[in-house]
Amino acid sequence: MALDLQPAELDPANRAYFDKCLEKIGFVPNVLQAYSFDMAKLTAFAAMYNDLMLAPSGLSKLEREMIAVVVSSINRCYYCLTAHGAAVRQLSGDPILGEQMVMNYRAARLDPRRRAMLDFAAKLTERPNEIEEEDRAALAAVGFSPRDVWDIGAVVGFFNMSNRIASATDMRPNEAYHAQARTPKT
């Protein structure tokens, strides 16, 4: 990271969170390390991320990761494209899909539901002032509930914010992400 912000001493809750990351994925994501200069900011970031990306939702974990990648692709966020591109590869078992999401989601052969979701995410990122009822109606037409639309909007908003913080600070992804899930699941 380009900013010289020294990590604070982790409080017990965040120490446990970092330990859980080490246990589950083998490293602490650099985004968490970047936020560790301020326990309140780290706690808020982690809570919002975990709620949006891991809590029960009408959106699958893969769909939420796909949204993260589409938003990050539009914003050209190196950190999030690398980290969440790896998550798409891992969750889908399809390294090609992960690359398509990073490069241009429109190249992927997606079902109408996911295509509508990602078209909405792209428009909300690029032209939020143009979102109208017809955009929400297009999501409803492919089976998204009002709560799902909320969740799509929340994930889009979160990653637009995260992309800007990552760009402002020159946040770099952990090298481990680059090699993850590069071969198809058999």
Summarize the confidence of residues 122-131 as an average pLDDT.
98
* pLDDT tens digit sequence for 73-98: 999 999 999 999 999 999 999 999 99
Summarize the confidence of residues 43-52 as an average pLDDT.
97
The pair of structure tokens assigned to 185 is 């699941």
Residue 3 has a pLDDT of: 93
* pLDDT tens digit sequence for 5-17: 999 999 999 999 9
Summarize the confidence of residues 37-52 as an average pLDDT.
97
- Residue 3 DSSP code: S
Band the pLDDT of 184: cuts 50, 70, 90: confident
What is the share, in percent, of the chain residues with pLDDT greater than 70?
Answer: 99
Residue 146 has pLDDT above 90, yes or no: yes
Residue 174 has pLDDT above 90, yes or no: no
CA–CA dist 127, 168 (Å, integer): 21
Residue 186 has pLDDT above 80, yes or no: no
CA 97, 64, 137, 77 torsion-angle sign: negative
CA–CA dist 71, 162 (Å, integer): 10
| pTM for this prediction | 0.94
Residue 10 has a pLDDT of: 97
Closest CA to 121 of 82, 170, 71: 71
